[in-house]
Amino acid sequence: MTETTALVPVVHRTIDVDGIEIFYREAGPADAPVFLLPHGYPCSSYEFRNLMPALGDRWRLIAPDLPGFGYSGTPDRAAFSYTFDGYAGFLERFTHVMELSRYAVYLHDYGSQFGLRLAMRAPHRVTALVIQNGDIYEDELGPKYAWLKEFWAHPTPEGRAKLAANVTEEGFRDEFAGDLPAHLAARVSPDLWKLHWALMDTPQRRENVVGLFEDQATTLEWFPKEQAYLREHRPPTLILWGPHDGYMPEGSARAYLRDLPDAELHLLDAGHWALETNLGEVVPLIRDFLGRASRT
């Protein structure tokens, strides 16, 4: 018999983190095991709006909008580092301000880098990992990385202009639905790119994102460290992957098994944003996995 649960309300709050007003979504009992949900680009905590009520009966789900994204504040660059290091440090500070001592972490897109660095800084706090299209294996990067890798190797003003040209409503639409076959693309609501473009379309936010594209080159140096963390600590891990992803194809998912041979891998008929197209498959897989992980 299939388990059915009532949807749990999601609440919306703000909190001050080092002088930055941070918006976050929360669902579930205050004393339940924590599931931390850092979002990817070009999204926000909106990414998890449907997942949270489906799991909040058994877990406390917390999804912040990162600085410069969604409904959170956009501090001046003198006050916040819009780099991968800066965001990883922010996520750690967020957990301290929220007084989160133990948590499972959802690793997706840019959020996979922030979440993994959080895990590396405090391995004893991590109860489990759910990895969904977040790549850390350079040899398995997909073909859509080609233009970024070319820029990282040979940065030029023309190349930077190309980065900036991607920060548009059409660029956002391509991020959310561009790689999907028609039957999946039809499931992706235009709300995703229209909402997030409306929130991102300020000079400061657009410039911050271009700088983050540039800084993404530094993540390649982190890949071997992150792989070493996985080998050493072997956190319980569920890998949910959408292979219709020009940045992170199937090989990017299978590569994790090199360092986590006991990880549970599920390849879905999905793309980069599986929560938009395959929520009905994802929810029971996560429920089952987190339930088992909490007993180990």
The count of structural domains within the chain is: 1
Range of the domain at 241: 10-141+220-293
| Alpha helices (runs of H) in the chain, residue ranges in sequence order | 51-55, 84-97, 110-121, 146-153, 157-165, 169-177, 182-185, 191-200, 203-215, 219-233, 250-254, 274-277, 279-293
Work out the angle at residue 251's Cα, subtended by the Cα atoms of residues 163 and 242, and round it to the nearest 5 degrees: 75
Q: Provide the whole-model pTM.
A: 0.96
Domain contains 20: yes
Rounded Cα–Cα distance for residues 34 and 28 (Å) = 9
What is the 8-class DSSP label of residue 41?
A: T
- Cβ(212)–Cβ(200) below 8 Å: no
- Residue 187 CA: distances (Å) to CA of 39, 242, 296: 20, 14, 36
Domain assignment present for residue 165? The answer is no
CATH code, domain with 281: 3.40.50.1820
> What is the structure's pLDDT at 111?
98
Domain annotation covers residue 158: no
Position 52 scores a pLDDT of: 98
Residue 185 included in any domain: no
User: Residue 258: its pLDDT value, please?
Assistant: 98
Please give the C-alpha separations between residue 196 and each of 3, 108, 283, in angstroms, as whole numbers: 34, 17, 24
pLDDT, position 4: 56
Is residue 225 a part of any domain in this protein?
A: yes
In-domain check, residue 146: no
- Number of Cβ within 10 Å of residue 42's Cβ equals 21
Domain for residue 17, yes or no?
Answer: yes
Q: Going residue by residue through the chain, which has 296 residues, state the pLDDT in tens, using 9 for 90 and above.
A: 345 578 999 999 999 999 999 999 999 999 999 999 999 999 999 999 999 999 999 999 999 999 999 999 999 999 999 999 999 999 999 999 999 999 999 999 999 999 999 999 999 999 999 999 999 999 999 999 999 999 999 999 999 999 999 999 999 999 999 999 999 999 999 999 999 999 999 999 999 999 999 999 999 999 999 999 999 999 999 999 999 999 999 999 999 999 999 999 999 999 999 999 999 999 999 999 999 998 76
Quick one: pLDDT at residue 2?
47
Domain assignment of residue 178, yes or no: no
